[in-house]
Amino acid sequence: MSKIRVIDSNNLREKYFFDKVAKQASGAVLYQIGDAVLLSAVTIDMEPVEEDFLPLTVQYIEKSYAAAKIPAGFIKRETKPGDFETLTSRIIDRSLRPLFPKGFNYPVVITVMVLSSDSDVDMQIASLHSAMASLYVSDIPITKALAGVRVGKIDGEVVVNPTLQQQDSSTLDLLVVGDSSDILMIEMCVNASLDGDEHSVNELDEDELLELLSVAQKATSKSASLYEESFREFVKSPIDLEISSVQSSNPKLYNHIASNYREDVERAILAMSKSERSDGLQDIIERVSDNLNGDDEWTDIDTLSDVVYSYKRDIVRSLILDKGIRADGRALDEIRDISIEINFLPSVHGSALFTRGQTQALVTSTIGDIKSAQSYELIGSKTSLYETFMVHYNFPAFSVGEAKRQGPPGRRELGHGNLAKRALEPTLELNRDMTIRIVSEILESNGSSSMATVCGGSLALRASEIETKKLVAGIAMGLVTEGDRYAILSDIMGLEDHDGDMDFKITGTRDGITALQMDIKLGGVETKILREALYQAKRGRLHILNIMEESLKDMTPSQALPSTTIFEIDSSDIPAIIGKGGSTIKDIIERYGVNIDIDRDANLVKITGDSKEQIEEAKRYIESLISVKKPMEYEINRQYRGRIKKILDFGMFVEMPDGYDALLHISKVSKERVDRLDTLYSVGDDIDIIVLEQKGKKVELCTPDYMF
């Protein structure tokens, strides 16, 4: 018989159904909030992988039937996940990883399926909580629960877990995940110009962010403790799993390397570049193998390799904590050398080559019209939505010296692109009549490639002459801890990311933070350490911004930038420009190779193209189409004397005193019904008329007989 728990916490009313569905999984829960129903199931493979890492797979899947829809397109079933599904899967993955003990290397799969949707429910919070509950009650030995809260800022007031409607008017989107004592994961971005100030970016300074994190941590701690207490009776008996580190499973081999090869390992770490370091460690592995080949306890080269790399990790951490020495010789808060080239690609709207140490990003900006926007759908949306600012991040294998073909973007690429988008978007004008696509090609990578994308993206926007409110720079911070000792690292490289305890990416302007993302490999991180990391990151960010600003001083505009002209027309001119069935405007577009947009509300014509000459020719042609004589300003209800120019079934064209031809409709000739005008009037006759109304070229007439 199924059991239910109803949890009211932090503005959420959640229902958890246990022992109801998916009973053959290691753990499962049916979760409901509002009309949204999610199924989360956890399974484990009892055969551990040989590599020293946690093979965790999270799948968040939205079913079309959950929103009473049939999938669009030719194939009527769900296919590859959309961006929102992928990004939500990443949030769940990054939040749950710190709960697993060190040395856990059994494959675990967590599947979250949306069975019923609710357009008023935050699906990322819902899916995170359902996944957490299924893992906590499973037979996998996880002893902590976690909770996620979203913090918004509406009219200056802090709101915990705002509704989706409230989120639309919030200047802040802060997602914090924590257990009963610590913060485990952070995602944050700001929304610009919602307060009516078109120049505002709404950045957060470090102190304000820390206050918000304190609010969020109290909320997550309260909920996580409540979950642990409420779910404890449903937890299955834990399965017996052997969890051990490489060092503890091979202590004799580890001690042999530590006793005889410490200097060699230190030399490989400190005296070599990234590629040379890998070769140096491989040489050590081969030498150790040769020396141990006659040993009766000798195992295999793969085990030896694991132990050497485990020892290398310990040496990297020891050098940082004991001596304050980093692998490339930098101080803990020192930024790698930076070089920047602007607009060196001649046929691109805007380009920036941003190089920081051994990380290099080629970032381009392309401008399109509003028709180039990316359409997409969310499970709760009634209609298609459109994205007019895109950031696409690509990570080819050659950037790290690997011989692999380049496939479609994976979760990491989508995640890094989304972070850069959230960092840059607040600096753009909200009311854009264009589509902007940023593409970052990572040409070389040794850490912080997503932050290089942010820096290069901000420069590429300026290079394509897109007005941005402020420049944005990004920096990745790291952390190494051992007991009560810790060291915070600025601008981490790949080695420090891999062997450290935290990856903290922070982006912002001179005035504050626009976006951040924090992943922790520990059980959590203290607020004190976050404070130090934020202020150390600020110093690094300002240093990078100084270099970026200097690089723009000698910028040469791209010759490939599209040209634009905008001019006003009369509303009555629009049909002449469009033509029957759009034939005229299509002919102009094809003839002159331009794009034409007509704003009917503002009576504006916008012409965009690659050639200024073609744009001017198209404008002159349009002006010739609408260059018929316009009327003078007539006095309403005043009588004028005109001459009949043409008689038709529905009325007469009358030449006004200024030579303009206006229509006198048959219904305005007399108060009595008139069936035929040619029996009463002849072309060339003079006629008295009264102006009833005038709107632009449209002049409405009647006769004195009709008026009086």
Least confident span in 24-28, 487-491, 538-542, 591-595: 591-595
pLDDT (tens digit per residue) in 9-19: 888 999 999 99
Contacts of 317 (CB under 8 A, 6+ apart): 480, 482, 499, 500
Tell me how far apart the alpha carbons of residues 257 and 162 are, in angstroms, rounded to a whole number.
Answer: 55
Q: pLDDT confidence of 661, banded at 50, 70, 90?
A: confident
Number of H helices, E strands in the chain: 17, 29
d(CA 302, CA 50): 9
Averaged pLDDT for residues 67-91: 90
Q: What percent of the chain has pLDDT over 70?
A: 96
Domains of the chain as residue ranges with CATH:
3-147+216-234 (3.30.230.70), 246-323 (1.10.10), 338-552 (3.30.230.70), 563-625 (3.30.1370.10), 639-707 (2.40.50.140)
Given a cut of 80, whether residue 298 has pLDDT beyond it is no
Q: How many CB atoms lie within 10 A of CB 316?
A: 23
Give yes or no for residue 629 having a pLDDT over 70.
no
Q: Which range (30-39, 240-249, 412-421) has the least confidence? A: 240-249
Whether residue 380 is predicted with pLDDT greater than 80 in this model: the reply is: no
Question: What 3 state SS string does 516-564 have?
Answer: EEEEECCCCECHHHHHHHHHHHHHHHHHHHHHHHHHHCCCCCCCCCCEE
Residue 113 CB contacts under 8 Å (≥ 6 apart), including other chains: 38, 39, 40, 61, 63
Residue 72: band (very low, low, confident or very high) from pLDDT cuts 50, 70, 90: confident
What is residue 498's predicted lDDT score, i.e. its pLDDT? 87
Q: Residue 641: how many CB atoms within 10 A of its CB?
A: 11
Helices 527-552 and 206-231: crossing angle, nearest 10°?
140
CB 182 within 8 A of CB 226: no
Query: If you search the block for the tokens 């008295």, which residue do you land on?
Result: 688
pLDDT of residue 416: 96
Average pLDDT over residues 682-697: 89
Band (576; pLDDT cuts 50, 70, 90): confident
Return all residues near 524 (Cβ < 8 A) that are at least 6 apart: 98, 178, 179, 181, 182, 183, 184
pTM (predicted TM-score): 0.82
Residue pair 350/460 in contact (Cβ under 8 Å)? The answer is: yes
Instruction: Supply the pLDDT for residue 506.
Output: 97
Report CA torsion sign: 582, 584, 587, 591. negative
Output the CA torsion sign for 617, 619, 621, 624. Answer: negative
Backbone φ and ψ of 295, nearest 5°? -75, 135
**CB within 8 Å of 596: residues ≥ 6 apart:** 585, 588, 589, 605, 606, 607, 608, 618
- Each residue's pLDDT tens digit, 228-240: 999 999 999 999 9
The arithmetic mean of pLDDT across residues 133-151, rounded, is 96
CB 347 within 8 A of CB 560: yes
- The identity of residue 406, as a single letter, is Q
154 to 157, 206, 221: CA distances (angstroms) = 5, 19, 23
> Mean pLDDT, to the nearest integer, of 539-554?
96
Percent of the chain with pLDDT over 90: 55
For residue 453, how far is the Cα from the chain centroid? Answer: 13
Q: How far apart are CA 400 and CA 539, in angstroms?
A: 29
**Does residue 194 carry a pLDDT above 60?**
no
User: pLDDT-based confidence at 697, cuts 50/70/90?
Assistant: confident
CA distance 591 to 666: 41
Q: What pLDDT score does 510 carry?
A: 96
Instruction: Give the model confidence (pLDDT) of 517-533 as tens digits.
Output: 999 887 778 888 999 99
DSSP notation for 604-646: EEEEEES-HHHHHHHHHHHHHHT-SPPP--PPTT-EEEEEEEE
Q: Count Cβ atoms below 10 Å from residue 575 Cβ, excluding itself.
A: 11
Residue 437 makes CB contacts below 8 A (sequence gap 6+) with 365, 366, 368, 372, 390, 391, 392
Least confident interval from 344-358, 601-615, 674-688: 601-615
Confidence tier at 277 by pLDDT (50, 70, 90) = confident
CA proximity to 498, closest of 335, 312, 354: 312
Secondary structure letter of residue 320 according to DSSP: I
Task: Give DSSP secondary structure letters for 35-87.
Answer: TEEEEEEEEE-SS--SSSS--EEEEEEE-GGGGT----SSS-S--SPPHHHHH
What pLDDT is recorded for position 296?
A: 55
Span 311-342, pLDDT tens digits: 899 999 999 999 998 988 899 999 999 999 99
Distance CA 94, CA 186 (A): 10
DSSP 26: S
564 vs 109, more confident:
109
Average pLDDT over residues 609-615: 83
Instruction: Supply the pLDDT for residue 681.
Output: 93
Indicate if the pLDDT at residue 458 is higher than 80.
Answer: yes
Checking if the pLDDT of 196 tops 60, the result is no
For residue 307, what pLDDT is reported? 87
pLDDT at 193 over 60: no
- The 473-482 sheet, strands edge to edge: 157-160, 147-154, 172-178, 183-190, 512-520, 502-509, 473-482, 485-490
Closest CA to 249 of 45, 105, 98, 46: 105
CB neighbours (10 Å) of residue 707?
Answer: 13
pLDDT, position 444 = 95
CA distance 223 to 449: 35
How many Å apart are CA 161 and CA 499, to the nearest integer? 34
> Quick one: pLDDT band at residue 197, thresholds 50, 70, 90?
low
Task: State the amino acid at position 322 in one-letter form.
Answer: D
